[in-house]
Chain A
């Protein structure tokens, strides 16, 4: 079973879903399409916007056999680097787990955990797309949790103008490439 936790800040509007929630939800849907089992836990209850929150994603080829909170994470993804000072993002991260931070510059954790930084916001902006698509691509590139083609199909089938869908697909690929690049 693979476990990932996504950290971000709540959107201040009820009708907007933050990328740190939208991306793992798309990963969950992609995994289902590939016949895998998933458990996706978005943030809960109404809280003020900008509150730090997490979303948990579990993916397995076999049925997932627990609902416990305690996690042994294969990856942690942080969409907002300002969270690093506020929240212990590495709690539960396996020794060999990956930490991906969306940041243009480099970041360092006090306990010297290796951090992978990619400017996913920059990539999204360059392709005139939302952060979600770039984030999705990057996570797939880093973890191979699902196939890139499955994510493509999902984005293609999403509602929205053709231009937006194309932009998202481009950002997806760019995020993927940037994660694969060493």
Chain B
């Protein structure tokens, strides 16, 4: 297990700086911070960011400062891709074709309440970049389950574990036939950066889902965010993939997949799982990796 990173999740790029007054609203060890930081660093100044109601919307902006150095709006929960559509067309009408329109949204704003707008924009192949930072809960309202919650995870609204299967949004986006879909994780910043750069060169609807653990929701020490993410990837539970022009490939393959119980043991949200449940989750992961060379 790599050494713990004390404040490794604090942004470093210089293009994303939490205003002092906002440091209280972004939690120590927040996984979304590096996700936002790397996005800001990679895409630079030629973008506008729409952030629907979510943790990032809350920590990005106050009346005395904002984390981003680009145009930013704290948007309505369910309609970020729709608003992004309008903004994209406005920029096109004004000849601002080289400015990226980016949605930076949490998982509920993407997979649940925002799903209609997401599917709409994807089916129209709107020229926007959509980043879903996924902490598998609706954390802005203190952590209720969402449809991306891992099966079996305990949350305030699923005290005995979320029972439904996790909604596989990247696969759904790929099924819309959009030009680029990828999954990334904050533990693998170079992989994420590469995917952002690739996406930035493509026209059309581009979707990247980034695993961004939340120490409070998942129940681990705040300084272990990157390590927990590493374990999620090393167990194969979270795959780093890319679907580029319809062709799917895995961008990182663990040399030997660690057993899933090592991931589950790190987090209090999986407390009290029975051996049978752990086995079933291991089987799901194994099945997902079958046939991938």
Chain A directly contacts chain B within the complex, with at least one CB pair under 8 Å: no
On B, residues with C-beta under 8 Å from A are none
> A residues touching B (Cβ–Cβ < 8 Å)?
none
